[in-house]
Structure 1
C-alpha cells in the first residue's frame, strides 16, 4: 500500500488553498475516474446483483445509517424496494408506477464509490492526487453515484456540490435518479 501524496480536499478548502475554479478542475478529474469505473463489468457469476462488494459480500446498509449490513440484492428494483422502506418487492410494485419501476430496472449496474465526498478526495497542487475510502464501494445502480454527489451534506456542499448538480451523468442514471425521488423518503447514501 502506498500513501497518496497531498491533503484532503476538505483540509484544502478549510485552509483556503483551493479556489472555486480549482474545485471545478478537481471535480472534472474525478469525473474522468468515474467514467473509467463505468467501464468495469461484473463477473458472470455475480451479474445482476447489486449492493455487492468487490469480494462478493454485503455492504453497509443505508436504511439504518450504515450500522448494519445488507445485500447483495438479486436485482436493482429489489434494492430500491429496500431503500424505499417497503416490506418487500410486491409492496413496492403495488405502490410505485410501473413506468418508474421500468426506469429503475433499466439503470445499468456500475462500480460505485458511495462516499465520494471531498473528505475522501486527496489533492495536490490544485489537482486530483487520489481517492480514498474504497472499502464500502461495490456494484450498485449507476444512479447511486448521482445520489452520492448531489445530496447536500457535510462533504458535499459549496462549489463541489454545484459542480455535480450541473454535471450530466448517463441518460439512464439521470432518469433513474429523477424517478427514485418519486418514492424515496431520503437519499440512500
Structure 2
C-alpha cells in the first residue's frame, strides 16, 4: 500500500513537472495533471491539497542546486561555481528552469516562488555559513545564482558556450567566496 502511494505520488509529480515546464502554471489544470498521471482529480488534491502546493512540491523536488549547497561549507563556493558555470556554458534547461520561465505572474505563484527561493536557497545557504550576517551573505550568493539563470534565458545557450570552463568556474568561485565570506574574513 505504501509503495503504491509513493508510486502514485511520483507519477503525479512527474506529470505535473512535465506539464508545468511545457505549458506554464496558468495553462495547466489539475485535470490535465491527473489525466497525464493516470489518476483522478480527487487523488491529486488529496496528495497535494492544491495546484499551487503541487507546483511548490515540484519546485522542491526538481532543483539541482541543493547538491551544490549541501556538504562541507568551505567547499560550497566551488560547488556553486561549478553548478552555475555548467548552466551558463551548456544552457542546461532543466525542468525547473523551464517551469520558472513559464510560471506566470499570478500573486499565488509569486508567493510560492518567493517561498521556494527563501527556503531552497537563502535559508539553505545561510544555515551552513558560520559567523555573522549569514542571511545577507546567502542573499548575495542567491543574486549570482538567479542572475545566471536570467542571463542564460536572455542570451540563450550560446552566451558563454565558448568560455573556458576552468576560467569561468574560477571567476565564479572567487565571486561566491567573496559573497559567502564572513565580514572581515
TM-score, with structure 1 as normaliser: 0.27
Is the helix fraction higher in 1 or 2? 2
TM-score (norm 2): 0.28
